[in-house]
Amino acid sequence: MRTSDMESLEQRLKEIDERLCSPETLKNSSLIRSLSEERAGLFKIFSAMEEIEKTGSSLEEMKELMEDDDRELAALAAQEIPELEMKHDKLEHQLKMLLIPPDPNDKRDVIIEIRSGTGGEEAALFASDVYRMYSGYAQKNGWSQEIFSSSGSERGGFKEVTFALRGKGVYSRMKFEAGVHRVQRVPETETSGRIHTSACTVAVLPEAEEVEVNINQDDLRIDVYRSSGPGGQSVNTTDSAVRITHLPSGLVVSCQDEKSQHKNRVKAMKVLRTRLFAKKQEEEKAKRAETRKSMVGSGDRSAKIRTYNFPQGRVTDHRIYLSLHSLKEVLGGDLDQIIEPLTKAEQERLLSEVSSGL
């Protein structure tokens, strides 16, 4: 089976080499990039399979030598076997890791939407805490940030905030943040010291390029209005805020953070394009009979992925049953201590799927 797999890989590598040398490909930089990336990935797999085959052959030779009449030679072979077996197992594991299908969105930038859920004003304040947590994490990773739209609350929180994070491998890290985040703490307005529970929802969307989503301008209804702040008061004397409705899908996007109507429209179109791209991806998954799950649920506390417990200084990720007593550090942007275990758990799950298919 492995021999036939190697032959197929070798044939595909030759096909890619031929395409890379063709005049048509040389005129297309994006095609060159995609073919080069595919070739690099396939070559790693081919090399690993080749090394496994060589190690397996050496292992068989040593086992045969163990039966040799020459006792000294048999003893030397017996010493080599454990090391070869260990090397073979390690190579097998590396091959399985290489066979894990990459998430096509991992290299993309993201647009994140945070919305306050259960808990009223306290939920809005927590939404702003989560926003600052991601801002701190972005800064630690050297990512850039751009706010698209926000709606403030009376006490300085966020009813909702939409922003982009851009940099190397942003989606591969931030995709684990999608879901309901729950907080347990004593609100500043609580005189009796009673602990309240509130929540906010986080959606993480891979940002779409303009060429990936074709939007017919006739399908859009664009409304302009004056920007408003907490409580609905007007904060601008011109109609700079923009609301775009995509009529076929019913998606509505608004942006009011810029003073320029044009800039708000450009930002709103980016968010709309990304939402339509995410919607398209979800529909494709459904067609492949995969279970389609909502990214953030209803915003109800029971749909939580993570809990931030202030009285105990603890943060718990419920997907991998991880509890850390480093709440302050996590909210300050030290998210790798949660994202790394989540990444490892995802790799183990995918590795299990690959192993069962071999």
Quick one: 89 and 175 in the same domain?
A: no
Picking from 80, 99, 118, the residue at the C-terminal end of a domain is: 99
Same structural domain, 40 and 118: no
Percent residues over pLDDT 70 in the chain: 88
Question: Which of 99, 120, 150 is the endpoint of a domain?
Answer: 99
Phi and psi at 56, nearest 5°, equal: -65, -40
First to last CA, the chain: 10
Domain boundaries, position 82 = 2-99
pLDDT given at position 290: 41
pLDDT in tens, 318-354: 999 999 999 999 999 999 999 999 999 998 888 887 6
Sheet bearing 179-185, strands edge to edge: 144-152, 158-166, 110-116, 196-206, 179-185, 304-309, 314-317, 322-324
DSSP E strands, 78-178? 110-116, 144-152, 158-166
Q: For residue 285, what pLDDT band results from cuts at 50, 70 and 90?
A: low
Q: For residues 308 and 180, give the distance between their C-alpha atoms in angstroms, rounded to a whole number.
A: 11
Q: Is residue 303 assigned to a domain?
A: yes
Q: Say whether both 94 and 167 belong to one domain.
A: no
pLDDT in tens, 194-229: 888 999 999 999 988 776 788 889 999 999 887 766
Read off the pLDDT of residues 223-247 as tens digits, 9 standing for 90 and up. Answer: 988 776 655 454 555 678 899 999 9
The CB-side HSE value for 325 (13 A sphere, CA atoms) comes to 2
The verdict on 30 and 144 lying in the same domain is: no
Q: 76: how many CB neighbours lie within 10 A of its CB?
A: 14
Q: Are 204 and 335 in contact (CB under 8 A)?
A: no
Residue 157: CATH number of its domain? 3.30.70.1660
194 and 323 in a single domain? The answer is: yes
Q: Determine contact, residues 170/109, Cβ cutoff 8 Å.
A: yes
Q: CATH code at 57? A: 1.20.58
Indicate if 285 and 141 belong to the same structural domain.
Answer: yes
Task: Tell me, yes or no, whether 27 and 67 share the same domain.
Answer: yes
Indicate if 194 and 281 belong to the same structural domain. Answer: yes
- Asked if 135 and 283 sit in the same domain, the reply is yes
Q: Are residues 275 and 185 in the same domain?
A: yes
pLDDT of residue 67 exceeding 50, the answer is yes
Q: pLDDT tier at 4 (50, 70, 90 boundaries)? A: confident
Residues 325 and 283 in one domain: yes
pLDDT score, position 161: 94
Is residue 353, in this structure, part of any structural domain at all? no
Whether 199 is in a domain gets the answer: yes
Q: What is the C-alpha to C-alpha distance for residues 46 and 63, in angstroms, rounded to an integer?
A: 26
Q: How many domains does the chain have?
A: 2
Dist CA 19 CA 25 (whole Å): 6
Handedness of CA 326, 330, 334, 335 (dihedral sign): positive
Q: Are 95 and 52 in contact (CB under 8 A)?
A: yes
Q: How confident is the model at residue 292 (pLDDT cuts 50, 70, 90)?
A: very low
Residue 105 lies in a domain: no
> Is 21 within the bounds of a domain?
yes
Among candidate residues 54, 74, 99, the one where a domain is terminated: 99
Q: Which residues of 269-279 are buried (b: 16+ CB within 10 A; e: fewer)?
A: bbbbbbbbbbe
The single-letter code of the amino acid at 28 is N
Q: Are residues 161 and 75 in the same domain?
A: no
The amino acid present at 62, given as its one-letter code, is M
Q: Domain for residue 150, yes or no?
A: yes
- Residue 165 sits at φ, ψ, to 5 deg, of -120, 130
281 falls within a domain: yes
- Phi and psi of 266, rounded to 5°? -60, -45
Residue at 352 is within a domain: no
